[in-house]
């Protein structure tokens, strides 16, 4: 199993450009998440999905959109990139939610480094 994969690994954008980050998981997980990681801020949740065709806003959703057309894929879109979106983006997935038996453990991808000039 590849686990959680992310493409691209690194990208440079100019202010105002758009792009899509792709996350794929082969663990048949229902739940998928997008985080951003910034120095001194830890990981912050952008958007998440509890199943195919569903999405919801997290802690810092502004400037991002997501789609979950297939269970194994979760896309993060930046419509008009801004320098404040320079960050490392991590996708994660989990089998279930708050079951309390460890199945809600989130597994992370390797990250996408995004630089917006």
What is the contact surface with another protein in residues (CB under 8 A)?
4, 30-31, 40-45, 48, 50, 54, 56, 58, 90, 92, 94, 96-98, 100, 102, 104-111
29 in Cβ contact with 94 (< 8 Å): yes
The residue (of 17 and 95) whose beta carbon lies closer to another protein is 95
Tell me the closest approach of the beta carbon of residue 47 to another protein, in angstroms.
11
Tell me the closest approach of the beta carbon of residue 64 to another protein, in angstroms.
16
Q: Residue 90 to residues 6, 8, 86, 106, 110: CA-CA distances in angstroms?
A: 8, 11, 13, 11, 7
DSSP state of 93: E
The residue (of 77 and 111) whose beta carbon lies closer to another protein is 111
The C-alpha atoms of residue 108 and residue 112 are separated, in whole angstroms, by 12
Tell me the closest approach of the beta carbon of residue 88 to another protein, in angstroms.
9
Tell me the closest approach of the beta carbon of residue 82 to another protein, in angstroms.
23
The residue (of 17 and 103) whose beta carbon lies closer to another protein is 103
The residue (of 84 and 105) whose beta carbon lies closer to another protein is 105
């Amino acid at each position: 199993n590849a686990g959680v994969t992310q493409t691209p690994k690194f990208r440079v954008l100019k202010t105002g450009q758009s792009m899509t980050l792709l996350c794929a998981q082969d663990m048949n997980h229902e739940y998928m998440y997008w985080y951003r990681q910034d120095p001194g801020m830890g990981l912050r949740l952008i958007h998440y999905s509890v199943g195919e065709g569903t999405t919801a806003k997290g802690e810092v959703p502004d400037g991002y959109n997501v789609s979950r057309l297939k269970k194994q894929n979760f896309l993060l879109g930046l419509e008009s990139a801004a320098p404040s979106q320079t960050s490392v983006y991590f996708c994660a997935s989990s089998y279930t939610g708050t079951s309390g038996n460890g199945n809600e453990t989130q597994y992370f991808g390797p990250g996408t480094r995004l630089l917006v000039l």
